[in-house]
C-alpha cells in the first residue's frame, strides 16, 4: 500500500462514519501565540473543545478528520537517526461532544486491524496519578473488543497528553502498539490546563487522536526505518552524492521537507522565533551537506559553495507532495533558499574570521557569533576546534532564550517616556541618549538623575535634575564628550545579571523602579568594568557608536523646578 492510498483510506474510513474532512491547517498557527508551529492535528480545533466555536455550524458535524502537517523542533539535533523528524504528517480523527471513549477506541481498533490488516501487540491506558483516577473505562472497552488484549498502565508522563503551548485541552490517553511501536495516540480531552498548571473539567469532553503517517507507512511497507518508505524514497532519486553518510542523507531528507513546507506557509529565515528555526534548518542542512560532500569548510571554498543538489531535493519535495498539499510553491522555496544561501556564505566568511580571533568560546561568545554573523551552533562547534569543546547546546540555547526574552521585554517596555517605534534612527537616538546621560554625569556629577526621555525620528529629548541653566561652555563640553565617544567606535553590548549584582556595577537605573530578578545592562565600551556608560535597559541599541553621526544640542530649557530638558539631534543619520 503506498502512502497516498493510506491517506485516502484513512479519510474515507472516517468520512463514512460521519466525520467532516478538514484540510490541514497552516504550519503557522492562527490566533494561538502560545506555540511557534502547528505540532498536532488538534491545534486548529482548540476552540471547538472549549465551546468557543461550534463544529455543527462550521463543519455540519461534531466530528472531523484531517491529515495535518506538523513541525516539532525539540529534537532537531537527533534528526539523522532512524526515527526522528522535524516535519511529519499526522492522521487524526476528532470529536467535540459527538462521541467519546467507546467509539474512539472501536474506530481505532477497526482501522488498524481491518483496513490496515495489522495486529495489535498491546495497548496502554492511563493508570492514574495524583488526584487523577485510572482510566478503567478504557480498559473495559478494550477488553470488550478483544478479551485477551494485553493492556499496560502508565502514569502522566506516558498516558496523559497536552496541552500544546502553555494552556489548553488535555487528558488521559490510550495508545495502540503495533510491532513494538506506538502507532496511534487516542486522547480523551476531559480537562483544561491553565497557565498555572491547574486542571478544570471541560464541560463537554472531546476526542483527539494522532497517528504519525511516516511510522504507519513504515510498518505497512515493512521497512526498517522511515527513510526507506515511499514518503522519502522519491526525494532521493538522482541523487545525493554517494559519499554522503546515511546520517547526513537523512538530515537532507528531513530538513528538505521541513524547509519546503515552512517556506510555502510563509515563514522566512531570520534570527527570531519561527524564522530562527527555519534559518537553523537551512544552515544546518547546508553545513552538513558541504562537509559531507566536500569535506570541512576551508577559507578558500566558502565563496563558491554549491548547493544545487539541495535545490533539486527541494524541487522534488514539491513534486512529490503537491497533489496533496497544493500550497507548496516551488518558485518561492527556491528563491528564499537561494537568498539564505548567499547570506550564509557571507556569514561564514566573516564569522569564521571573528571566531579565529577569539581566545575562548563560552555560550555567550558563541551566541554573539550567531547574532552578529548568523553562525549556527553546529557551525561554531565544527569550526571552533579546541575552543568549542566545552560549548554545549543547552548553554547556547539558554543564552538564546534569555536574549529573546529580554529583547521581547525590551520591545514591550517603553523606554521611559516612549521609544515607540524602532526605526534605525530611533535606535541611534536611544544609544546617543545613554552617552548624553553619562556625559552630563561627567560634567555635573552625581546629582544628575534622569527624569524622562522621549525619542522621535527627528530628535532625542532628555530631562534630568539640575538646578540651573546650562552655560554655552557646558553645552559645548557635553557635545564634545558625546562626539568623542562616537569617534572612539565603542561597541555597545549587553549582559544579564541578577538584580543585586547588576546594581553593584554602578549602572544607571531608576531608584524605586520595579525590576525583575534578572536585569539587562547595556554598556558602551570594550567590557563592563571599563565601559564608559552602563544602564539598566532592555534595548534596542546600535552595535557600535561609530554608527551615530554628529551629536548636537539644539535646545536646553527648564521644564520644572530643578529639572532641565535637552533636545538634541544627530546629523548624517537619516
Site residues for ligand SER per CB under 6 A? 40-42, 92, 161, 185, 187, 208-210
DSSP, collapsed to helix, strand or coil, labels residue 124 as strand
Comparing CB distances to ligand SER, the nearer of 41 and 172 is 41
| Shortest Cβ 90–ligand SER spacing (Å) | 6
> How many CB atoms are closer than 10 A to CB 165?
16
DSSP 266-290: T----SSHHHHHHHHHHHHHHHHHH
Look up cell 495508545; give the residue: 175
Question: Quick check: 370 and 404 in contact, CB under 8 A?
Answer: no
Which residue's CB atom is positioned nearest to ligand SER? 210
* Among candidate residues 547, 556, 488, 545, the one with its CA nearest the CA of residue 522: 545
| Shortest Cβ 172–ligand SER spacing (Å) | 12
Helix (H), strand (E) at residue 346 = helix 330-357
Comparing CB distances to ligand SER, the nearer of 176 and 391 is 176
| Shortest Cβ 87–ligand SER spacing (Å) | 14
DSSP, collapsed to helix, strand or coil, labels residue 319 as helix
Comparing CB distances to ligand SER, the nearer of 211 and 427 is 211
Query: CA 428, CA 436: separation in Å to the nearest integer?
Result: 12
Comparing CB distances to ligand SER, the nearer of 65 and 490 is 65
Comparing CB distances to ligand SER, the nearer of 173 and 450 is 173
| Shortest Cβ 27–ligand SER spacing (Å) | 15
Query: CA 519, CA 497: separation in Å to the nearest integer?
Result: 6
Question: Quick check: 333 and 314 in contact, CB under 8 A?
Answer: yes
Query: What is the 8-class DSSP label of residue 528?
Result: T
Query: What is the 8-class DSSP label of residue 304?
Result: G
Query: CA 105, CA 103: separation in Å to the nearest integer?
Result: 5
Comparing CB distances to ligand SER, the nearer of 168 and 384 is 168
| Shortest Cβ 30–ligand SER spacing (Å) | 18
Comparing CB distances to ligand SER, the nearer of 211 and 470 is 211
Question: Quick check: 558 and 564 in contact, CB under 8 A?
Answer: yes
Comparing CB distances to ligand SER, the nearer of 214 and 399 is 214
Comparing CB distances to ligand SER, the nearer of 67 and 244 is 67
Query: CA 170, CA 167: separation in Å to the nearest integer?
Result: 9
Q: For strands 63-71 and 20-21, give the pairing.
A: parallel
| Shortest Cβ 93–ligand SER spacing (Å) | 9
Cα dist. 398→270, 388, 394 in Å? Answer: 19, 16, 6
Comparing CB distances to ligand SER, the nearer of 95 and 185 is 185
Comparing CB distances to ligand SER, the nearer of 92 and 98 is 92
| Shortest Cβ 43–ligand SER spacing (Å) | 8
* Among candidate residues 116, 109, 80, 110, the one with its CA nearest the CA of residue 222: 116
Task: Residue count of the chain, please give it.
Answer: 574
SS3 readout for 347-396: HHHHHHHHHHHCCCCCHHHHHHHHHHHCCCHHHHHHHHHHHHCCCCHHHH
| Shortest Cβ 42–ligand SER spacing (Å) | 5
* Among candidate residues 390, 393, 389, the one with its CA nearest the CA of residue 378: 393
Cα dihedral across residues 194, 197, 203, 208: positive or negative: positive
CA-derived radius of gyration, the chain: 29
Question: Quick check: 286 and 347 in contact, CB under 8 A?
Answer: no
| Shortest Cβ 158–ligand SER spacing (Å) | 12
| Shortest Cβ 248–ligand SER spacing (Å) | 29
| Shortest Cβ 165–ligand SER spacing (Å) | 12
| Shortest Cβ 153–ligand SER spacing (Å) | 19
Comparing CB distances to ligand SER, the nearer of 185 and 545 is 185
| Grid coordinates of 2 | 503506498
Comparing CB distances to ligand SER, the nearer of 40 and 436 is 40
Look up cell 581566545; give the residue: 359
| Shortest Cβ 15–ligand SER spacing (Å) | 18
Amino acid at each position: 500500500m503506498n502512502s497516498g492510498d493510506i491517506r485516502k483510506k484513512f479519510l474515507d474510513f472516517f468520512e463514512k462514519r460521519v466525520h467532516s474532512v478538514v484540510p490541514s491547517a497552516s504550519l503557522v498557527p492562527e490566533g494561538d501565540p502560545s506555540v511557534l508551529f502547528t505540532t498536532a492535528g488538534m491545534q486548529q480545533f482548540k476552540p471547538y473543545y472549549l465551546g468557543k466555536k461550534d463544529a455543527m455550524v462550521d463543519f455540519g458535524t461534531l466530528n472531523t478528520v484531517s491529515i495535518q502537517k506538523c513541525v516539532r523542533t525539540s529534537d532537531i539535533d537527533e534528526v539523522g537517526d532512524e526515527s526522528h523528524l522535524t516535519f511529519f504528517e499526522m492522521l487524526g480523527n476528532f470529536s467535540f461532544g459527538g462521541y467519546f471513549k467507546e467509539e474512539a477506541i472501536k474506530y481505532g481498533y477497526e482501522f488498524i486491524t481491518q483496513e490496515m490488516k495489522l495486529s495489535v501487540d498491546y495497548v496502554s491506558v492511563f493508570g492514574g496519578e495524583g488526584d487523577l483516577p485510572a482510566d478503567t473505562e478504557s480498559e473495559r472497552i478494550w477488553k470488550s473488543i478483544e478479551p485477551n488484549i494485553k493492556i499496560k498502565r502508565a502514569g502522566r508522563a506516558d498516558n496523559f497528553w497536552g496541552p500544546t503551548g502553555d494552556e489548553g485541552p488535555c487528558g488521559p490517553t490510550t495508545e495502540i502498539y503495533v510491532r513494538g511501536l506506538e502507532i496511534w495516540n487516542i486522547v480523551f480531552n476531559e480537562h483544561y490546563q491553565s497557565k498555572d498548571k491547574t486542571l478544570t473539567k471541560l464541560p463537554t469532553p472531546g476526542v483527539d487522536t494522532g497517528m504519525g503517517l511516516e511510522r504507519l507507512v513504515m510498518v505497512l511497507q515493512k521497512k526498517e526505518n522511515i527513510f526507506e518508505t515511499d514518503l522519502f524514497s522519491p526525494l532521493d532519486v538522482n541523487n545525493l552524492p554517494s559519499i554522503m553518510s546515511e546520517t547526513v542523507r537523512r538530515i537532507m531528507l528531513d530538513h528538505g521537507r521541513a524547509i519546503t513546507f515552512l517556506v510555502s506557509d510563509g515563514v522566512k529565515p531570520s534570527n527570531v522565533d519561527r524564522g530562527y528555526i527555519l534559518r537553523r534548518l537551512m544552515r544546518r542542512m547546508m553545513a552538513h551537506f558541504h562537509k559531507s560532500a566536500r569535506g570541512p569548510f576551508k577559507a578558500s571554498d566558502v565563496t563558491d559553495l554549491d548547493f544545487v543538489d539541495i535545490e533539486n531535493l527541494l524541487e522534488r519535495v514539491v513534486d512529490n507532495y503537491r497533489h496533496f498539499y497544493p500550497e507548496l510553491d516551488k518558485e518561492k522555496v527556491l528563491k528564499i533558499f537561494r537568498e539564505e544561501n548567499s547570506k550564509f556564505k557571507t556569514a561564514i566568511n566573516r564569522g569564521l574570521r571573528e571566531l579565529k580571533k577569539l581566545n575562548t568560546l563560552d555560550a555567550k561568545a558563541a551566541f554573539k557569533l550567531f547574532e552578529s554573523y548568523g553562525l549556527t551552533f553546529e557551525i561554531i562547534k565544527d569550526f571552533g576546534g579546541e575552543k568549542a569543546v566545552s560549548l554545549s547546546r543547552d548553554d547556547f540555547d539558554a543564552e538564546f532564550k534569555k536574549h529573546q526574552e529580554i529583547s521581547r521585554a525590551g520591545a514591550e517596555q517603553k523606554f521611559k517616556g516612549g521609544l515607540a517605534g524602532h526605526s534605525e534612527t530611533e535606535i541611534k537616538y536611544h544609544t546617543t541618549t545613554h552617552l548624553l546621560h553619562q556625559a552630563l554625569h561627567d560634567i555635573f556629577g552625581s546629582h544628575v538623575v534622569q527624569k524622562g526621555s522621549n525619542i522621535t525620528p527627528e530628535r532625542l529629548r532628555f530631562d534630568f535634575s539640575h538646578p540651573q541653566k546650562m552655560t554655552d561652555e557646558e553645552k559645548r563640553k557635553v557635545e564634545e564628550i558625546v562626539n568623542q565617544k562616537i569617534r572612539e567606535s565603542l561597541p555597545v553590548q549587553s549582559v544579564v545579571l541578577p538584580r543585586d549584582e547588576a546594581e553593584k556595577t554602578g549602572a544607571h537605573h531608576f531608584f524605586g523602579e520595579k525590576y525583575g530578578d534578572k536585569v539587562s545592562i547595556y554598556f558602551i565600551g570594550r567590557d563592563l568594568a571599563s565601559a564608559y556608560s552602563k544602564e539598566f535597559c532592555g534595548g534596542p541599541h546600535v552595535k557600535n557608536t561609530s554608527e551615530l553621526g554628529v551629536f548636537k544640542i539644539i535646545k536646553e530649557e527648564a521644564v520644572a523646578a530643578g529639572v532641565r530638558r535637552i533636545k538634541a539631534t544627530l546629523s548624517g543619520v537619516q
